[in-house]
A and B are shown apart, each in its own frame.
Chain A
Amino acid sequence: MAMSKYDLTPRIAPNLDRHLVFPLLEFTQERQLYPNDQILKAKIELLNNTNMVDYAMDIHKSLYHTEDVPQDMVDRRVEVVARLKSLEEAAAPLVTFLQNPNAVQELRADKQYNLQMLNERYQIGTEQIEALYQYAKFQFECGNYSGAADYLYQYRALCTNAERSLSALWGKLAAEILMQNWDIALDELSRLKEIIDSKNFASSLNQVQSRIWLMHWSLFIFFNHDNGRTQIIDLFNQDKYLNAIQTNAPHLLRYLATAFIVNKKRRPQFKEFIKVIQQEQHSFSDPITEFLACVYVNFDFDGAQKKMKECEDVIMNDPFLGKRVEESNYTVVPLKDEFLENARLFIFETYCRIHERIDMGVLAEKLNLNYEDAERWILNLIRTSKLDAKINTQTGTVVMEPIHPNVYEQLIDHTKGLSGRTYKLVSQLMEHGQAQAAR
């Protein structure tokens, strides 16, 4: 299918938790990127290893249009319920303790004290705490995310095993994402990131893998959180993370590229990023990265225009980029509009930099606007002094004001830093001298 050509779901899914893949599948189903049957089958496959047996049964029914459910699913349901019971029992003492607000108040910030206190007064030992983890995990697998999130939070407060604590954090993050608590999820994300960056992992390979997972999971947050577009650049564009992307998950470049395009403030890193895109051309390219290559590498403006149209499709069909917002009666994809606006600006900006005089008609065409709109658009740019140009209506052209840097200014700029540097040098020398004398 042509529409699914740029679909990244198959490449992203392996890096996500099973439960996190669901939203993606829902999206593809909605966009009808793949035949419905295929998606349903994929969903059942996905559910097979979780405990959401009821849900799997429903899907099975709708897939095969029957009321019968295969025996193994029924068996599994019984099994799951039984296991849930046993886990619940195991974790019961701790859960009741935690549900008692008076008791919880006895907990202090000191982990050791807490453990000792629990052990002495409530007979809650490591076994029960471990059971809490298992219970939370089971809850998560059953689809009870809020419960899982709560228990995991409590567990982390009591857990002493770093390894376990880490996986509890992953679980918490997944649960928060699935509950769409973006703010909390963002906190968890940064907490996790700290651990990953600081922890002495067994192997650097492991670390890289964790980073890649983290980046994939973060997509959910960044494209839903208000401030996400800046943060995605902050995260992805760090050397360590960019390296991880380049080595193992070049498809993430799409999201970084999009973030760069819609984010006007991040220009300094942009040029470096263009180089990265060029470098990774062989391993990943889609209309969005190609668009950047057209504008900034090949100066092929016609090509850029074509790519822009393709980009629109890509955005619409991407589960993260194509997020829809209901606005009164119609739905909009906010990111798409923003992207197109900015992309247009990109083209125009570069175009203007190498031109002295541009025909308005051609410009309008290049910008995918009609003549009037184009004129208004340029007028606006000139008014907000983003563009140093004049419109010549007689010939129907835009004339750029030549930029001639003033030689004297340049000279001054040049030497401006010198005195500061010298002072710094001197003070350093003095410091050193004093240190010597003190000794």
Chain B
Amino acid sequence: MDAVVKFTSQSQGRDRIFRATQYACALSIYLLRNNPERKDLVNKLKSLETNISAGRKLLRLGNTANSIVAVKQAMRLSDRVLRLCITAANINRALYFICDNLLWARNVGLILSIDKERWSINASRCYLYSLVMNLTQDLYVILQLMLQKGRDNHFKQKMNQHLNESPEVAEVTIPELDTFVFLLLETLRSEPTVALDTVKNICDLFIPLDKLGIYKSSAGLVGFCGLVSSLIGILTLARPTLRIKP
């Protein structure tokens, strides 16, 4: 119970729980859409999703500052590629939050001269760019780790053992591809932080891709991906050792 209270006392903790609930509702609505007996439940879930989404928009009002601070911290990194990726990702996130805040002001009626559709598309676009930069960062880190691991002697022994394991299969597979896949899986297994972050970003990617019409998937897939990425977010916040650094 103490751990739950400590987790929820962080603003991010609560937001991630709300996000998970929001996407769980979206997924449930999609799964129950053709069931006439559950119409009442579907309406309740829709109302819950709308309320949580509106509440989260209000709660995101100060988050631009978080991204700007992250940009300042990223400037101190030594690795140039990482510095570029993280800075670009956070600048795009800051722009996304600004668009999101303007949309909130429009929804509430404070600013009426805003074209809701256009700014919604702008927000999705900025979010997409920040996710692409995050994925680039993940891929770069994975490549670095793979190169490091490839040079490791202990790993080379393991690799030879794997390649000699089943000689009858080795004739069918392409040895280079097999080596690459084995190296990739071993790297991801030894560095769960990067693996979790990559999965989270890939799942998140479906949301703006669907909204912008670049890759239209079903509402169910969007809901499922949103739910998975929210759960990973909750896990990394509850266990800070699983969070990617920097």
Chain B binds chain A = no
